Structure 1
């Protein structure tokens, strides 16, 4: 490996270290309570080193936000092969909750963190976030075309279904289901989705 390649690898590794540390801190302490110095302390580097890679914590938050949505989109695409539109839609819901269970810190940054990034507000047309919601609406639209959700507005249906699965995911991520035995949680969530599907 040449000098140039080694330097690029070191830069990539440093970025990953910064992002991983920030993700943990944002999730555990909240955006407002995290500083660039705290991130630096977490990886045992000087705060000046962090500023060589990111101009502020807002930029770090935005990159984590987009990374999370990119992975989230992959998870949603994993059920698109299902032919029956209503089965696909509720598999979509399961994939949503599964993502939250597998990546709770990312889910927290993406959907629960109270303080959004300034960078996120500037990017009104951020692709990663929009396409995930568009995929949900596509699946609902195809379910409607197959005779489901009669008389329901597409936007209302999308918002309602998103709110339903988000509620379950948030309860899990924020550890509000701790009173339940761990082995009951996944079957309970699946049962809740099946319960909803019977209404349509």
Structure 2
């Protein structure tokens, strides 16, 4: 992470924020979001970050709003709701949460919450690299990492893999029986 001096936000909004507000006034929330995301990929802008959270919240993308607002000083019921949705989306997988933050937020030192998340993400990565598990198996996993994956993570097979193998064996057996039966009809015995 780069060590940049903390500067006070200017009283004049950036051109990206001004254009995003114009997009919002014109009813183009999606365009405002794209504009803000692109702007924040290149530089840290607290006002743009806060507006991005507002746009995502208005679009009912609570996890994205939570990721944006996590890097700001903004507080309130809407922020708590969005941050909780963001944490739920990632199942408290700290490395995923870290990577979902805008790049400019990840590259800027000085935000205690963001710095703490970075430390937890690094601990999870170090634990996973050393063969440990950052959390108990199945804890906080959602989607592809939950039940139904190809392996249980400890080298064993899970139920889905066993069922798939059984169906494959059954398919091959039926194909062989069908071929033998067909040959019996075609070749007089």
Normalised TM-score (structure 1): 0.27
More helix by share: 1
Normalised TM-score (structure 2): 0.28
Q: If you compute each CA radius of gyration, which structure gives the higher value, 1 or 2?
A: 2
